[in-house]
Amino acid sequence: MLLELSESQLVLVDYQTRLFPAMFEAEKAWANAVVLAQLAKRLAVPVWGTAQNPSRLGELAPEISVHCQQVLAKMQFSAMEEGLGEWLKPEPEAPKGNARSLPRHLQKNQNGAPERNTIVIAGCEAHVCLLQTALDLLEDEFDVWVVTDACTSRTERNRDAAFDRLAGAGAELVTTEMVGFEWLRSAEHPEFKFYQSLIK
């Protein structure tokens, strides 16, 4: 099963300025997060950010937040506990019409937009906020794809333990390039050269 561009949303978890110095291979993870954000925005994939306790840990890195539709400031480790789910799956508009309108199960999506139930997620710390958010997403029946080379923790062991647990829970483990090439699908895609420029 490949990632479907039209069904995807991107969630970037807690790439915060004061966390950066303490993270394992932070430079690589941040750089890959920026690539994901730039490509997603170019392909009209919704991009959401989160920031854990920003008054203590700093804001979401500006090179990432500039690509986000919104950034969720939170205190809970799982962003789903703070309302991320409402952003990812907004309530449909109330149906218009009178008492003779179609029953709810026969009504078309009022927004006309496709459902985007595939969540591509990356961030830090992988074994805390990313893990808890991803597990809650799975519980809410989203398809979760974790971008491993854009995730980090303070230690490599904690990061890798998060990947083991997420894979066991049903998340797909992917890399930044896997996401990009699956969204594009072809060297003839109009954004292929742009993506090449990001990863070279």
Q: What is the pLDDT of residues 137-189, one digit of tens each?
A: 999 999 999 999 999 999 999 999 999 999 999 999 999 999 999 999 999 99
Question: Which domains occur in the chain, in start order?
Answer: 5-87+113-199 (3.40.50.850)
pLDDT band at 107 (very low <50, low <70, confident <90, very high): low
CA dihedral 139, 137, 150, 166 (to 10 degrees): 0
Q: How far apart are CA 197 and CA 161, in angstroms?
A: 32
pLDDT at res. 112 = 54
* First CA to last CA distance, the chain: 26
Phi-psi region at 89: left, alpha or beta (left = phi > 0; alpha = psi -120 to 50): beta
pLDDT at res. 90 = 79
pTM of the model: 0.89
What residue type is 37 in one-letter code?
A
pLDDT, tens digit (0-9, with 9 covering 90-100), for 37-64: 999 999 999 999 999 999 999 999 999 9
pLDDT at res. 115 = 86
pLDDT of 21 > 60? The answer is yes
Catalytic residues: 14, 74, 129
Mean pLDDT score of the chain = 92
Mean pLDDT for the stretch of residues 120-137: 98
Mean pLDDT for the stretch of residues 109-129: 85
Assigned token pair, 122: 């990356």
